[in-house]
């Protein structure tokens, strides 16, 4: 009789297992809460800029350490604090966040991020009324276009474009909560590491908006936050190491106007030395700049310095030819005029470049 009972149980074993397992499966599915709690769910996002790690003008990118705080309401997570014995539930670290927390959360995606970045810390707090607070600290490298026309007097606005990945505006709306921006400004003033070499942090602001973004199929409207970081270059380093030495070098090349009009080889040697030095300066600047299609202020200074040095070669050839043909007086007069004419033209053009590019 016992053997017959065992045989019947074994024949219906899959049905028994399914009977006991089915409630657990349903519970796991319900616990996942894959959808936002509302239509739409308003997520208030605040951003704290902890550090600007690097700025790379050559690749038009920058690296920052960012703390992201977000809050939203999810009534499905509400609980009785007296029954639970806690005033809030905390899930922190990757294991608790990924394996223990069963609620919904927005997956924040930075559209112009390069690579995957590093998430150093993550935390979720759930309160009895269903309010949820999300905290995350990450290091990200972002790509952003830079306007270098005024280099080295340029100011850059570095931007990060943040959306809730997979959720359109009908599901999730991101709102800018600027409670942390004032602390960020104060933190940047008290902590010098926020400012990197050659740059000053001028301001931070966040704005909300919409963007047409395509995951698959047709485009859809997605709620977006734009973090803008205003930076101003400290131009003194470039001025004293590049521009001022270049102007002094060009001025020294005008010594040819005091040389004998018959000394053509010596005059040309000095001019060619100046031209080669300017070409070396050009390679130095180009090696630290992206491939851009427009002239910067520094490019304009280098180009006209090159032109003025080439002008000394033609001037030396003219006065040598006049002197050779017995017209030394005219040749000497041209040298005298050049001693004032070349500097006046050179500095007037530099002033014009400054007014055109900077002012």
- Count of CB atoms within 10 A of residue 257's CB? 22
130 and 62 belong to one structural domain: yes
Q: Which domain holds residue 295?
A: 237-357
- Rounded CA-CA distance 278/252 in Å is 13
* Summary mean pLDDT of the chain: 83
**Predicted local distance difference test score (pLDDT) of residue 115:** 83
Which one of 234, 253, 276 terminates a domain?
234
**Predicted local distance difference test score (pLDDT) of residue 190:** 60
206 and 65 belong to one structural domain: yes
Which one of 234, 256, 289 terminates a domain?
234
73 and 181 belong to one structural domain: yes
Q: 336: number of CA atoms within 13 Å, CB side? A: 6
Strand ranges across the sheet with 108-110:
108-110, 155-164, 220-233, 199-213
Q: Tens of pLDDT along 2-27? A: 454 445 545 554 444 434 443 443 34
- Poorest-confidence range of 16-30, 60-74, 81-95, 128-142? 16-30
Contacts of 12 (CB under 8 A, 6+ apart): none
CATH code, domain carrying 350:
1.20.58.390
Q: Does residue 271 form part of some domain?
A: yes
249 and 217 belong to one structural domain: no
- Rounded CA-CA distance 87/127 in Å is 7
Q: What is the pTM of this model?
A: 0.78
Q: Does residue 290 form part of some domain?
A: yes
58 and 201 belong to one structural domain: yes
CATH code, domain carrying 198:
2.70.170.10
- The segment with the largest mean pLDDT, out of 111-115, 130-134, 201-205, 288-292, is 130-134
Q: Tens of pLDDT along 145-159? A: 888 899 889 999 999
Q: Does residue 2 form part of some domain?
A: no
50 and 198 belong to one structural domain: yes
95 and 145 belong to one structural domain: yes
Q: Does residue 90 form part of some domain?
A: yes
Measure Cα distances from 41 to 30, 97, 122 in Å. 19, 20, 21
| Interval 21-49 mean pLDDT | 67
256 and 214 belong to one structural domain: no
225 and 245 belong to one structural domain: no
243 and 206 belong to one structural domain: no
Q: Tens of pLDDT along 289-305? A: 777 888 889 889 999 99
296 and 336 belong to one structural domain: yes
- Residue 188's pLDDT band (cuts 50, 70, 90): low
Burial grade of 186 (CB within 10 A; 0-12, 13-18, 19 or more): exposed
CB < 8 Å & 24+ apart, contacts of 87-93? 87/127, 87/128, 88/125, 88/126, 88/127, 88/128, 89/125, 89/126, 90/123, 90/124, 90/125, 90/126, 91/123, 91/124, 91/125, 91/126, 92/121, 92/122, 92/123, 92/124, 93/122, 93/123
Number of domains in the chain: 2
Q: Does residue 29 form part of some domain?
A: no
- Rounded CA-CA distance 335/328 in Å is 10
Instruction: Give the rounded distance of the alpha carbon of 72 from its chain centre.
Output: 28
Q: Does residue 105 form part of some domain?
A: yes
Q: Does residue 273 form part of some domain?
A: yes
317 and 200 belong to one structural domain: no
Which one of 188, 216, 234 terminates a domain?
234
């Amino acid at each position: 009789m016992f053997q017959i009972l065992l045989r019947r149980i074994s024949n219906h074993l899959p049905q028994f297992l399914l009977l006991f397992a089915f409630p657990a499966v349903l519970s796991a599915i319900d616990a996942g809460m894959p959808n936002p709690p509302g239509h739409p769910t308003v997520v208030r996002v605040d951003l704290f800029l902890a550090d600007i790690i690097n700025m790379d003008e050559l690749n038009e990118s920058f690296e920052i350490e960012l703390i992201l705080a977000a809050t939203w309401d999810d009534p499905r997570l509400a609980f009785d604090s007296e029954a639970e014995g806690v005033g809030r539930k905390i899930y922190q670290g990757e294991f608790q966040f990924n394996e223990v927390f069963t609620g919904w959360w927005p997956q924040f995606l930075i559209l112009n991020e390069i690579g995957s970045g590093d998430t150093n810390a993550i935390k979720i707090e759930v309160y009895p009324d269903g309010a949820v607070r999300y905290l995350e600290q990450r290091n990200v490298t972002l790509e952003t276009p830079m306007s270098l026309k005024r280099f080295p007097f340029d100011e850059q606005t570095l931007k990060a474009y943040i959306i809730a990945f997979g959720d359109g505006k009908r599901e999730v709306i991101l709102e800018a909560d600027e409670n942390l921006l004032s602390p960020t400004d104060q933190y940047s003033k008290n902590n010098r590491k926020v400012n990197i070499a050659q740059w000053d942090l001028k301001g931070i602001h966040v704005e909300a908006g919409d963007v047409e973004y395509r995951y698959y199929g047709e485009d859809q409207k997605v709620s977006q936050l734009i973090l803008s970081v205003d930076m101003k270059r400290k131009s003194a380093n470039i001025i004293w190491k590049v521009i001022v030495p270049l102007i002094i070098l060009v001025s020294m090349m005008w010594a040819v106007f005091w040389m004998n009009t018959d000394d053509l080889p010596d005059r040309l040697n000095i001019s060619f030395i100046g031209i080669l030095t300017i070409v070396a300066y050009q390679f130095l600047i180009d090696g630290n700049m992206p491939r851009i299609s427009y002239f910067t202020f520094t490019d304009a200074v280098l180009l006209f310095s090159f032109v003025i040095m080439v002008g000394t070669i033609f001037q030396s050839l003219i006065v040598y030819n006049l002197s050779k043909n017995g017209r030394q007086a005219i040749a000497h007069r041209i040298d005298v005029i050049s001693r004032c004419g070349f500097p006046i033209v050179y500095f007037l053009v530099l002033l014009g470049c400054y007014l055109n590019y900077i002012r």
